[in-house]
Structure formats: structure tokens, C-alpha cells
Amino acid sequence: MEGMVIWGSVELDEEEFVRSFESCEYPNERFKHLDHIRLAWIYVRRFGVGEAENRIANAIRRFAVSLGHEEKYHQTLTKAWLRLVYAAYCATPATDDFGKFIGAHLWLAERNALGVFYSEQLLSSERARRGWIEPDLRSLPSGNSRGSCVPLRTGGVGVSSTEFKTACGLFPTGVTVVARKGGLGTVQAMTVSSFASVSLVPPLALVCIGKQSVFSEWSACDSYTINVLKRDQESLSILFSRRDDIAFDEVQWGTALNGAPVLCGALASLECELRQVCLAGDHCIVLGTVTGAVIGDGNPLVRWRGGYHLVSP
């Protein structure tokens, strides 16, 4: 973590950092944005958000006065950042490691993150500097419920692949295995979470598949199945996420009415005929007409936040 984000107080333990800052002995040139975040995180953990607001406001004001720059103390900035830290703290499993905390919320390292909530005009105003002002663009996240509190970006700034993947990973999905006939008596199968029903009349379903997969190549007559996994089939999800070609004797398969292999014991299976393949970025959207369905029994396997989860009625 230290190789990615560095704060001036990184070599000081928590007690040394708080003592040196509250006694105004901490070097001004080393007090970076992340030191402000670390101080807020320490106060929130120790005192709760209400007392933390008072303590950090007093500590930073004293620090500014000791440097002869009381005019640089900004009350709205100080309290708004603390409230963001508190919301992030409530969304993170308890840890005494600031590196792990900030690693889970790298958006806190962005000095312009408050721009999601406040206009530049309001933040630069004298009244915001002298007293607390509520946001004029969007309410600050609350720490009342646990979960992700990463603010949305504004101003046309692009989202990174990691941020996009993390955000989408917060949407729980079922897990499917798409299967079709391969060569030499094998089955081509792969794990797919990007699955959706599209239409009832006619019945259509789609899956999204990476262009590097053998499944990115289709012929006009391809038949296949979409098999929804049960909660006890996590091992199959892992297996089919690693290889495209699985020999018939490694997994128990049946044959659907459309001639495609169907996974035995699945929660549900859809028999599909290829209708259309559309290129979309680094994936292919595979749209199929559903010609049959097999309904099983049990509870689904769920994918959420990069891991597998179990859901019961």
C-alpha cells in the first residue's frame, strides 16, 4: 500500500502522530492531505463522529494558529472531510491499520473528492471558511448503514477499469455456465455472470463474453445452454472460469433437445439458438432465442464483491 499512497506521518505510530500534531510540533511541510484523513480516521475510531468533529476542528485550528496562518483554517472543509471519513469507516470492516483503510477507499486520497458535493464557488466563500455550510450539489454520505460510500465522479473525469469493476461488483448476480459442443467429443463451457433476460415474446436472453474467449467465435447454427448454478456448485463456477474446453467425463452432462450439452443438477437451464452477436468494447453480447427450459430445485449461487455468497429464502 505504501508504494501507492504515501502520507507524511507514515513512519509515526498512531500515538506519536496524534501527540505531535495536537502539541503543534508536527512539521507543516509534512502535513499532507492524507495526514488530515488519517487524523480524522483516528478521531472517529476513538471518539465517534460527534466528538471527532470538535476535536479535529480544534486541533487543526490550533495548528494553523501556531503557524501564524489562522486564516487558512477552513471549517467546512475540515468537517466535510471528517464526515466522508466517518462514512467510509462505517463501510469498512474494523481495522487498526490506516494503510488497509485507505486502500479500501482510495477515493479519499483525491483532494477534489468534495467537488461531488460542493460547488467551487461555495467552498471558496468566506462563510464556508468561517462556519459549517451544508453541501449545495449532493448530500454527504451517511454512516448510518454499512456499505460502499464511494462518491460518484463529476466534471467529465473518466472512470478507471478498477473503479468500474469495483462498482459493478457491488451489484449481486447469479452465476451461470454457458455450454456448447466442442470438437472431438468435448464440451466448451465457461462461467458467465453477465446474463440477462431480454424479452418474453419472443423469449430472448443474452450473455456477455470476453473477446479473448473461444466463445467469441460463433457460427450461424450454434446451439447452446445457459445453466444457472446452485449454491453447492461453486467448484463448477471456479472450474469453468479457468478453462474453455472441459472433457465430457470430468463433469456430468446431459443433452438438451436442441442438441447442446446441459449441465446436470443445475438450478435452471435455458436451451438457446444463436440470434445475434454484437461487439461491445472488449466483450461480445451474445443474444439467443430461448427454445426450452429445465427448472430445478434449490437455492442460487450468488456473486458479490468479488466473492461467492449463499442466499436462502
- Overall residue count recorded for the chain in this entry: 313
Q: C-alpha 259: how far from its chain's center? A: 39
pLDDT digits (tens, 9 = 90+) for 183-236: 776 788 889 999 999 999 999 999 999 887 777 677 766 899 999 999 999 989
Identify the structural domains of the chain with CATH numbers, from first to last. 14-156 (no CATH), 173-310 (2.30.110.10)
Nearest Cα residue to 233 out of 260, 271, 264: 264
pLDDT of residue 154: 44
Q: C-alpha 182: how far from its chain's center? A: 35
pLDDT digits (tens, 9 = 90+) for 8-33: 555 678 888 888 888 888 777 777 88
Strands 283-295 and 268-280: antiparallel
Label residue 80 exposed, middle or buried (CB < 10 Å: 0-12, 13-18, 19+). Answer: buried
Nearest Cα residue to 36 out of 136, 133, 120, 109: 109
Phi, psi of 93 (to 5 degrees): -55, 140
Give, in degrees to the nearest 5, the angle at Cα 10 between 9 and 14: 70
pLDDT digits (tens, 9 = 90+) for 156-188: 456 667 667 777 878 899 999 999 987 776 788
